[in-house]
Chain A
Amino acid sequence: EIVMTQSPATLTVSPGQSVTLSCRASQSVSLDLAWYQQKPGQAPRLLMYGSSTRAAGVPARFVARGSGTDFSLTIRTVESADFAVYFCQHYNNWPPYTFGQGTKLEV
């Protein structure tokens, strides 16, 4: 099973700052990596897939990159709507597809 490790667990920032979240896979997942955003009491929302492609309606301030085992999600100029939990997930090698533990972005 591929283990996905996210860091940091919590990130404290102020609106207007830029932040970078990290996701590392225990073995290569090529470009088969997605990022999701989840706010309290809400369903997760797909943000990015194919390592760097934004899902429909995702603002351009979200930028993702990476391949193989190391991936990152950068939020340029954090807005109040961005405070949430972000988690990564690979879909490269079944079984199973696995998730990272998540990074909580807080004010």
Chain B
Amino acid sequence: DEQLVQSETVVKQPGESLTISCEGSGNTFATSWIAWVRQKPGKGREWMGVIYVGDSDTKYSPSFQGQVTMSADKTISTAYLHWTSLQASDTGVYYCARLKEMSSPLDSWGQGSLVLVSS
């Protein structure tokens, strides 16, 4: 099984940039799709987008297109989620999760990265 380890809790101010990471420890990371899922406080889960680690093909959910940037480096088995200018509304827990292929369930999840944006 692919184990996913995410970067730790971070506190940022509005307007700052941020990149969080998701590192895989199995031998399938380079041929996996990695999804990013947001959960805002007291709310449900939202699918932000997916990236194929092998060639960095990305697919964004319409609500998140232009708001974040997904990237991946297969040589170090790591996927990234980047914001150029955070807003308070970006506060939430962000999970990475693995899909074996595009139309498949999320079979491994990271532990979540809490992002707190506050002035």
Contacts and interface: CB of A to CB of B under 8 A. Distances in A.
Task: Say which size band chain A's interface belongs to.
Answer: 20 to 34
Contacts of A91: 99, 103-105
Interface in A45-74: 45-46, 49, 55-56
Task: Say which size band chain B's interface belongs to.
Answer: 20 to 34
B103 A95 contact: no
Contact of B102 (A94, A98, A99, A100): A94
A44 B95 CA distance: 9
Nearest to B48: A96
Q: Is the interface of B mostly helix, strand, loop or mixed?
A: strand
Q: Is the interface of A mostly helix, strand, loop or mixed?
A: loop
B18 interface: no
A89 B46 CA distance: 10
Contact of A43 (B59, B103, B104, B109): B109
Contacts of A46: 105-108
Contacts of B44: 87, 99-102
Contacts of A55: 105, 107
A32 interface: yes
A23 interface: no
A92 B99 CA distance: 13
A87 B45 contact: yes
Nearest to B46: A99
Interface in B47-76: 47, 49, 59-63
Interface in B82-113: 95, 97, 99, 102-112
Interface of B: 1, 35, 37, 44-47, 49, 59-63, 95, 97, 99, 102-112
9 contacts: A1-B62, A32-B103, A45-B109, A46-B106, A49-B104, A94-B59, A94-B102, A100-B44, A102-B44
Q: Which 5 A-B pairs have the closest CB atoms?
A: A96-B61, A34-B105, A43-B109, A49-B105, A99-B45
